[in-house]
Amino acid sequence: MLSDSCEMSTNEKTILLRTKHELELCVHGAEQVTIDLITRISASFFDYINKINFTEGTEKAVTARGYIALFFDEKNNMNNKASFALRAHELIVECIND
């Protein structure tokens, strides 16, 4: 569920979907997780936190926020970080499509 005051632009949705695809490749072993990818995801997550109602939204939105927290809490394992980010992206895509 998007917050009442803001929606994602077409460009933001395109970036979200492209990043989700990159994460899928990493999580499934076709690509390596890079610092550049993690840095871009971190910046995107800060933006999404301002755009999506994670506290009063749907169960998917609240769950996505939990995966974002796990992403930021993970300090050592880049593969775990990518897995948390992928799950958050999947849920965010579902939220914006609802």
How would you write the pLDDT of the chain (98 residues) with one tens digit per residue? 444 334 678 888 899 999 999 999 999 999 999 999 999 999 999 888 777 766 666 788 888 889 999 999 999 999 999 999 999 999 988 887 76
Q: What is the pLDDT of residue 4?
A: 39
Q: What is the pLDDT of residue 92?
A: 87
Closest by Cα among 92, 43, 42, 86 to 63:
92
Q: What is the pLDDT of residue 56?
A: 66
Structure pTM?
Answer: 0.86
What residues contact 33, with CB distance under 8 A and at least 6 apart? 26, 78, 79, 81, 82
| Residue ranges per structural domain of the chain | 33-97
Rounded Cα gap, residues 35 and 33, in angstroms: 7
Rounded Cα gap, residues 47 and 53, in angstroms: 12
